[in-house]
Amino acid sequence: MKILKVNIQRSYIMLLGIVTLLLLGTYYSYALFTVRSEEKKAIQIVTGSLYSKLSDNSNKIAMYASSRITPNSKKTFLIQPNEEKTVELKIENINNRPAKFNLYYQASTLKDVAVGYLENSEVPLKEGFVIEKDSQKDFKIRIYNQGTEPVEISFGSDVGLENKPLNFREDAYVIESYQPIDGPAIKELLDKANKISQYEENTEKELYSLKMSLQNQEDEKEEIVDYRYIGNHPNNHVLFQNEQYRIVGIFETKDEYGTSQKRIKLVKESPLKTSRYQEEDKNSYDESLIKALLEDEFYKNLDENSKNLIAKVEWNVADLKDGTVSNLYQQERIKEGNSTYLYNISLLYPSDYLYSYALNFNQNCFKENKLCNNGWLEEMIQGSSFLLSYNTKANNEYTAVSITFNKNLDFLSSLLEEREVYPSFYLKSNVKVTGDGTEESPYQFSI
């Protein structure tokens, strides 16, 4: 009995110890859980309440907290084959404090696809950028799908504390500067063309490769390559909205977003009409009768498919002096001293006319007219026509430049004189082409 009593006492003590340990374990577990829970809540208070508001130019909004991802956290675009699309994205800081954001994209494929921010856009840095409270940043992004299948491109934005690193997603791509890709029509024309570096007698004339060294805005030399159709019978015929046009050449031009890339330039084969340059004898192309005529009587009457082929680009109205054609070309390309406008439609440049001759690449066509012959534009323009430029007279007045009836370039004595108007424009860089450029099978462009 004594032994049994001792065993019962031991068992009771052991049971009491076990219960005590269980109670202590439960207490500490609960305490640890409570602390971690509070820590998690504290973290959520610090970062989970920060939001990124991402919208595009259609004002569809995607919002999400930095601590979670929802199906609406991205902006997705379906880009069709050969489609070029410019999207304007906006990230707004709707928080009550400054925050750090980033902008990324994800793609179903990157084969034959170009994505990048444009020249006049904010730069979406990989490491992120701080946006102040109640402020925003705007991004202009261009997407070009040169492939044969649709591509899905999604843009998203993460957000975090302004003084903390913002990790970039492993499944996303950094948005870098847009690198243009030559469109299918440009590739095909350059492949077909007999690119010659100098005129050769009795050679079938096609595209002339013109390498120029120009001064840029920073007064540095900038090498560019343009291509022009030369001679009297090049295969540059085009059927555009059931009317005859000609290809002037392929040129580096800047569009409304500041992106410079090669584009095909056309000119109408017959004049739109005859007109004065201006109602009063003063020069301002942007306010001229010519500009109004081109926009109101020509461009507005094109069908939507034709308008969709035309690019809005920079045109320079240059103050031209006498000189070689290469000097004139240089004057047309620089911005200093010129007026630069964004137009869909305008006029030929003087250099377009002069470079269409096969013998004048280094000659002065103003002073030695005998060297200026065999040009397809000379044959096409039977009367006299305005060109996109002006000249400063000695009394600081301006006058327009035109092709005269005897095929020279000259400065008008009065802007009230009438001349023929030949519309000219650039095509979008992603156009496709059929035909071979002959009169029997002219080129036709589409997207």
Measured CA to CA, the distance from residue 359 to residue 201 in angstroms comes to 10
**Residue 420: beta bridge partners?**
274, 385
Task: State how beta strands 313-319 and 339-343 pair.
Answer: antiparallel
Task: Give the model confidence (pLDDT) of 131-155 as tens digits.
Answer: 999 999 999 999 999 888 999 999 9
One domain for residues 102 and 245:
no
One domain for residues 40 and 70:
no
CA 265 to each of CA 188, 325, 347: distance values in angstroms, whole numbers, following the listed order: 15, 19, 11
**DSSP H helix total and E strand total for the chain:** 7, 27
Task: Give the model confidence (pLDDT) of 417-443 as tens digits.
Answer: 788 899 999 999 999 999 989 999 999
Rounded average pLDDT over 72-78: 77
One domain for residues 68 and 121:
yes
Domain that holds residue 260: 184-446
DSSP 274-338: EEES-SSS---GGGSHHHHIIIIIIGGGS-HHHHTTB--EEEEEEE--S--HHHHHHHHH--TTS
Task: Give the model confidence (pLDDT) of 4-50 as tens digits.
Answer: 444 555 665 666 666 566 655 555 544 444 434 433 333 333 445 67
One domain for residues 387 and 303:
yes
Of residues 286 and 159, the one with the higher pLDDT is 159
Rounded average pLDDT over 78-92: 91
> Does pLDDT of 278 surpass 90?
no
One domain for residues 251 and 344:
yes
One domain for residues 209 and 192:
yes
Q: What is the pLDDT of residue 246?
A: 96
Rounded average pLDDT over 205-216: 62
One domain for residues 164 and 202:
no
Examine residue 203 and state whether it is found in any structural domain, yes or no: yes
Nearest to 315 by CA among 245, 380, 265: 265
Measured CA to CA, the distance from residue 235 to residue 269 in angstroms comes to 14
One domain for residues 231 and 319:
yes
One domain for residues 314 and 410:
yes
One domain for residues 250 and 356:
yes
Q: What is the pLDDT of residue 99?
A: 92
Last residue of a domain, one of 115, 140, 174: 174
How many structural domains does the chain have?
3
Examine residue 63 and state whether it is found in any structural domain, yes or no: yes
Examine residue 179 and state whether it is found in any structural domain, yes or no: no
For residue 94, the domain's CATH number is 2.60.40
- Those residues whose C-beta lies under 8 Å from the C-beta of residue 189, and which sit 6 or more positions away, are 207, 227, 247, 250, 264, 433
Q: What is the mean pLDDT of the chain?
A: 77
One domain for residues 81 and 227:
no
One domain for residues 192 and 305:
yes
